[in-house]
Structure 1
């Protein structure tokens, strides 16, 4: 129980620290000038974070990733509980499978009309910075929580591995949504393994065709292997527009409008 408690603490503390560091880096080494600016976007994204934290707390009475991991361990349920493997091997398998599961979820968010209505809230932001990683509609949070919890249970992921993956996923999402200018050589090296800000920038293009590329939140492996990798927008990183083509005003910076977006 103590280990699980510490795991939950780090799952919050590490991404929170990274958010502060990346926001500071954005101020010093910005990649692009912001269209709508930080205010009121940051206020709206903070409200998304608070709303999702409350809903996440309510969901914890039903199912969360940690609860799914505990349940699988107690009942010896899931693939990894059927075989005897060293802990590090289980952790490696779990990270790879869960990362692909998140990629697949993201892929279908763009292919399924109902799911896209939820996910479009994330894409409607006309700027891209570290706080965009907080901009997910509660409807999408609910779908994602049940989906990841099911994968964790079916795979039989150990609790600490499940929590570590959540930290990994959140940290990568904050990093690749950040508006920081990386040296081109460093970007090329990093994206051999990890999704970089410039790589994820392509996915947030207003061009629908470009939104169908670079679905990865952490590893670039799946986009490269499955043919959805694109190195750069056809317009170039400097000229690429961000958001949804049909929304070219300040509405996405408003919290109420953004919350109502899937229903309109």
Structure 2
């Protein structure tokens, strides 16, 4: 990862996080519960450190290598950037959608991903709350896809900045005006749509898997426009007993087998 790329990613992250945190303070959808932030930010920090150790070049480095070696579909076809960049962003977004569904479907992957769903409130910090091993697996999947497709580094960089911003947005605890919410959900997964995905009701949590575009859920039959409980949807795991929220317990919890019950 080059210095300018790291600076761009960090500055864009800090800007977007600050904007949504301020909007949550100004127009909260629910009362703020900031005690969880220590665990959420701690998981994100540990995941970032693990990624830097295992994947020091990140997905953009894989894209640069694939371009230099002529590896991947786009490189073999010599697609122009005007085609390969937007196409690459769309393909990566669809990949993240199906990856998300996979993490809900396969039991050992779900044990990692449930750390994210165990948050009993959803706000901008929840967009960073993923188990470090999930960070690692997600990067591995993305890197393999980038190499096979031969995506340009520009597409990968723009996608990662975009995806990070969308994840912070759709997890944010912002009370959007209803008219704006209706317009945005035609294209994007909004906070209201994503709260349905974080419902304790198992069937509701199997909807709205998208992290940015809402079209994938519409195309693949997983879109749900409203929770059964409306705006009073209960958040957390679809289990009688919720996970403790301490950082060290959340790190260990995927490796502790627990019987889960669907609702």
TM-score range, shorter chain: over 0.9
1:54 maps to which residue?
A: 49
2:260 maps to which residue?
A: none
TM (normalized to structure 2)? Answer: 0.93
Give the unaligned 5+ runs of structure 2.
Answer: 257-263
Of the three residues 212, 217, 221, the one matched with 1:227 is 221
Q: Distance in 1 between matches of 2:189 and 2:175?
A: 14
> Per-residue deviation at 1:5?
3.5
Q: Distance in 1 between matches of 2:96 and 2:213?
A: 10
Q: Does 1:255 align with 2:247?
A: yes
Q: Secondary structure at the match of 1:234?
A: coil
2:21 maps to which residue?
A: 23
1:159 maps to which residue?
A: 153
Q: Distance in 2 between matches of 1:118 and 1:226?
A: 24
Q: Distance in 2 between matches of 1:247 and 1:73?
A: 50
Please say if residues 48 and 132 of structure 2, whose CA atoms lie closer than 8 Å, have aligned partners that are also in contact.
no
Of the three residues 98, 104, 112, the one matched with 2:106 is 112
1:216-257 alpha-carbon deviations (Å, 9 max, x no partner): 0011011001110001111102x11000133666822x1111
> Per-residue deviation at 1:15?
1.5
Q: Distance in 2 between matches of 1:87 and 1:52?
A: 31
Give the unaligned 5+ runs of structure 1.
Answer: none
1:246 maps to which residue?
A: 239
Of the three residues 14, 34, 40, the one matched with 1:38 is 34
Q: Distance in 1 between matches of 2:202 and 2:242?
A: 18
> Per-residue deviation at 1:179?
0.3
1:206 maps to which residue?
A: 200
Q: Secondary structure at the match of 2:92?
A: helix
Number of residue pairs matched by the alignment: 256
Q: Identify if the C-alpha distance between structure 1 residues 42 and 249 changes in structure 2 by more than 3 Å, giving closer, same or farther.
A: same
Please say if residues 199 and 234 of structure 2, whose CA atoms lie closer than 8 Å, have aligned partners that are also in contact.
yes
Q: Distance in 2 between matches of 1:157 and 1:210?
A: 34
Task: Give runs of aligned pairs for residues 96-111 of structure 1, distance below 5 A.
Answer: 96-111=90-105
Please say if residues 85 and 154 of structure 2, whose CA atoms lie closer than 8 Å, have aligned partners that are also in contact.
no
> Per-residue deviation at 1:54?
1.0
Q: Distance in 2 between matches of 1:46 and 1:138?
A: 12
TM (normalized to structure 1)? Answer: 0.93
Could you list the structure 1 runs, at least 4 aligned residues long, displaced by more than 4 angstroms after superposition.
Answer: 247-250
Of the structure 1 ranges 214-223 and 154-163, higher mean CA displacement relative to structure 2 is found in 154-163
Please say if residues 69 and 153 of structure 1, whose CA atoms lie closer than 8 Å, have aligned partners that are also in contact.
yes
